[in-house]
Amino acid sequence: MTESSQTPEQTPVTPVAADTPDTQTSRGGKTRQLLGMKGADAETNIWKIRLQLMKPITWIPLIWGVVCGAASSGGYRWDLENVLVAAACMLLSGPLLAGYTQTLNDFYDRDIDAINEPYRPIPSGAISVPQVAVQILVLLVAGIGVAYALDLWAGHEFPTLTALAIGGSFLSYIYSAPPLKLKKNGWLGNYALGASYIALPWCAGHALFGELSAKIVVLTLFYSLAGLGIAVVNDFKSVEGDRQLGLQSLPVMFGVDTAAWICVLMIDIFQAGVAAYLLSIGQNLYATILLLFIVPQITFQDMYFLRNPLENDVKYQASAQPFLVFGMLVTGLALGHVPM
């Protein structure tokens, strides 16, 4: 039969000739699954499930924190050895200990996830509780082991990185686990989260390539108050489940609108406070750049977050948070030019 004599019914049709909305949604769901984001597709591959528990999307700020710490140390050098050691510290802060933290959090949050995110691996039954417990232990032991190896490389008399790893791991435990379960309190829980994402990796990167001083510790803990504001953003997606289970997140305690204002003020005020400190030590150019980064943050806060924090939390994070994290690097570079 020639091409001209084919009827429409006889014309061969390729089952999937182009992306349809369904296939695009599925692909987006698979990506969300691998990154550990909300709205993920179901998964049966055990290694992809384990990766989802570790939430790779959350590793980025910790890896960045190591970069900022290396910059503030003033001792980082661009050679192969330093690059490899920095990469090992990023592995420690991101995949290993952040992965441990996220898996531990899912382990203790399986009841609330059954309400807010029932597709997650544990409440959906995609992975068993004993398998999750093994993953938690493996990540913890591996993280502490890498920290100790980095202490040996740096020649530390006191194992600073090991102490940071153990301290951070303990903080993660009391954040998620009863009886303390810091996350039940919106202030304590979110500050613990902010410190874990800013102060701990920053101090690790600084200690690896320089001498960790009390000033750096205090400054990064101060900066972590801006991180508290970032942590609050994540509470808006689970208001109903938090309320049902008695978790006192800031949106539950103060209401959605007031909590949104607390969130943005914490971010802006404490970032401006760091800029003021840079001015006080003569780092005027870096302080000015840091202050300029606050302007687009305020713009996106008004455009998205303050108008509808429940709907625009992800859009706000994607648009505004890069200015916070680049501000952290600016601060690190400034500190690397002054004796601490």
* pLDDT tens-digit series, residues 252-267: 999 999 999 999 999 9
Q: Crossing angle of helices 186-197/199-209, nearest 10°?
A: 30
Given this model, what pLDDT does residue 42 score? Answer: 63
- Residue 339: left if φ>0, alpha if ψ -120 to 50, beta else—which one? beta
Is the confidence at residue 19, as pLDDT, over 70? no
**What is 43-213's CATH number?**
1.10.357.140
Given this model, what pLDDT does residue 162 score? Answer: 98
Domain boundaries, the chain: 43-213, 251-340
In angstroms, rounded to a whole number, what is the distance separating the alpha carbons of residues 25 and 320? Answer: 25
Average pLDDT over the chain, rounded to an integer: 88
* Percent above pLDDT 70 for the chain: 87
In angstroms, rounded to a whole number, what is the distance separating the alpha carbons of residues 65 and 325? Answer: 9
Cis peptide before 159 (omega within 30 of 0): no
Of 12-26, 170-184, 237-251, the one with minimum mean pLDDT is 12-26
Of 54-58, 97-101, 242-246, 298-302, the one with minimum mean pLDDT is 242-246
